[in-house]
Amino acid sequence: MAFSSSSALSRISNLSRHFHSPNSKTSDDPQGAIDAPGGGLIKISSEVSAAISRGHPVVALESTIISHGMPYPQNLETAKEVEAIVRKNGAVPATVAILDGTPCVGLNEEELERLSILGNRVQKTARRDIAQVVASGGNGATTVSATMFFASKVGIPVFVTGGIGGVHRHGEQTMDISSDLTELGRTPVAVISAGIKSILDIPRTLEYLETQGVCVAAYRTNEFPAFFTETSGCKAPCRVDTPEEAAKLIVANMNLELGSGILIAVPIPNEHSAFGSLIEKAIQTALQEAREKNIVGNAETPFLLKRVNELTGGASLASKKSKTIHLFRTWSAALSLGFL
């Protein structure tokens, strides 16, 4: 199933505003990147811009997983492998980040390596942080919400990531709710994910997504996956069993102009699911330590992920990397078909 002609024209029209504005210019870098209007607000690599303008499949990728999700050099290896899988299956990867104050959609190898080496010295950038990072000329690794925002701006309908944020445990008291969820409620981008991290309150997260009007589906399972484990104890609102079914769901959402995104969760590979009980025990220990040290807000999730990895002797990191790679292999059929 391809996009309708009116949908394709709409996407091309949207992109033409970026390519042909009086303020647009072509960069001299090897990518031949093109700046968007408004003094270079968004820089789109030539590979990505050409693919979108021709209606070829493009997949958005976040950069927080590079700078904050894994240590160097595993982060760079994973980023390169993920991009290679996307290309192998006929789509163009569009890793999103903010470099020296310029939002970039599509990174070259040098830029990927720069983000990987800088690691957590790069600011973790959600939607609320975009203006500040741009105005200060800083470097930002985009989270789910920021990546969705930029993907939608340039006409990329699909974004593949690891785990999304959610309602934190005890969120009914702290009101600590990830901006990923509100972004899914207002930005029409399909997010293919490993599910919701076990360190979060999964039942309340699913309830919040329902309030936001977000279509939530699980891939080949009736139970919503919990990132490190196949099961969460929560029934998935919707199930899809093939890339074709998922593509039809995404296209229907776009054609109806519902204005909200879609979340499709893919379970962890069987060979790594055995670590689930070990990781869950470590999560409980890390949560207790975070409470004792009064680690809250944005600092909590990085602390928990790091501590869980330490407590499991690296098992959670191995599981995380495997899951990220598995996501792209699972979706290779959809990418090669050009639905997305």
Mind telling me the catalytic residues? 62, 197
Length of the chain: 340
| CA atoms of 329 and 320, how far apart (whole Å) | 14
Which tokens in the block code for residue 87? Answer: 């290309």
Which tokens in the block code for residue 171? Answer: 């969120």
| CA atoms of 333 and 26, how far apart (whole Å) | 34
CB atoms within 10 A of CB 23: 11
Strand residues in 50-134 grouped as ranges (E): 58-61, 92-99, 102-105, 123-125
In sequence order, what DSSP letters do the residues of 291-333 get, joined into one string? HHTT--GGGHHHHHHHHHHHHTTTHHHHHHHHHHHHHHHHTHH
Which helix H or strand E contains 130, and what residues bound it?
Answer: helix 130-135
Write down the residue that tokens 């899809």 correspond to. 240
- Is the bond preceding 157 in cis, omega lying within 30 degrees of 0? no
In sequence order, what DSSP letters do the residues of 213-279 get, joined into one string? T-EEEEES-SB--BSSSS--S-B-S-EE-SHHHHHHHHHHHHHTT----EEEE-PPPHHHHTTHHHH
Contact in structure between 326 and 267 (CB atoms under 8 Å): no
Strand partners, 34: 26, 44
Closest CA to 147 of 109, 183, 108, 174: 183
Query: What does residue 330 show for φ and ψ, rounded to 5 degrees?
Result: -60, -35
Which helix H or strand E contains 208, and what residues bound it?
Answer: helix 202-211
